[in-house]
Amino acid sequence: MLPGGPSRHPPSMKNSDTGIHRCAWADSSPLMCAYHDQEWGVPVRDGRELWETLMLEGFQAGLSWSVILHRRETFREAFQGFIPERVARFTEADVARLLLNPGIIRSRAKIEATIGGARAYLAMAKAGEDFSAFAWSFVDGKPIPNKTGKVLAKTPLSEKLSAALKKRGFKFVGPVIVYAWMQAVGLVDDHMPGCFKRAKATPQG
C-alpha cells in the first residue's frame, strides 16, 4: 500500500523538471516528493523509530499519508517525542488533552492504541525482545524486494507480522497497515521498477 493508498498511475514516472524517475505517487506534492527521496523505504534499524512509524501508520488508517506528514511534528510534540516510556504513562487526562488538539488526528481509539502500543513495546523489552530485532527477523535482516511490479495492499508476510504484533498487544496493526509500515521503514523495497531509489536505500540508525 503506497502512501495515500494504491496508485492507478504508472509504476514510475519521469519528473519533467529534473528528469529523475520516481514512484508515481511521489510527484503528488513537494512534501511527498521529499519524503519519497529521503525517507520512504530506507531501512530503519532503531527500535524506537520503528515503533513511532508504526504508531503513525495506525493514525493514517482511513486517511492519506500526506495528512500525517503535514502533522507529524505536531504529533511528536503531543506524544512527547514518541518516547515509549513517556507515552506509556499517559492517563485519561492525557487522552482528554489529546482529543482537544486540532494538530493531530483526534480519534480516541487511535490515541488509546498508541498508549497501549507504548506499553506493549516496553513489555517486549522487559521480556528481552528487542523491537528492531523482532521486526527485522521477519525478513531475515534485509529488505525484501517486491518483484511483482504491482502495487500491493498486503502480503502473507504482513499478515504474519500483523498477527505477531496483535499477539503482543498492539492495535491498529492489521495486515494492510503493517504492509504500509514495512514499505515505509524498508522491511520491503517497494520502490517501483524504474524509480531511482529502487534497491538504493541505505540503513539508518
Active-site residues: which are they?
Answer: 35, 57, 65
Pairing of strands 21-23, 12-14: antiparallel
**Known binding residues for Zn(2+):** 23, 36, 191, 195
φ, ψ of residue 27 to 5 degrees: the values are -90, 15
Is residue 136 within 8 A of residue 190, CB to CB? The reply is no
Region for 140 from its dihedrals, namely left if φ exceeds 0, alpha if ψ lies in -120 to 50, beta otherwise: left
Element (H, E) at 23: strand 21-23
Residue tagged 506534492 (cell numbers): 29
List binding-site positions.
Answer: 23, 36, 191, 195
User: Residue 114 corresponds to which cell in the numbers above?
Assistant: 498508541
For 189, the 3-state DSSP assignment is strand
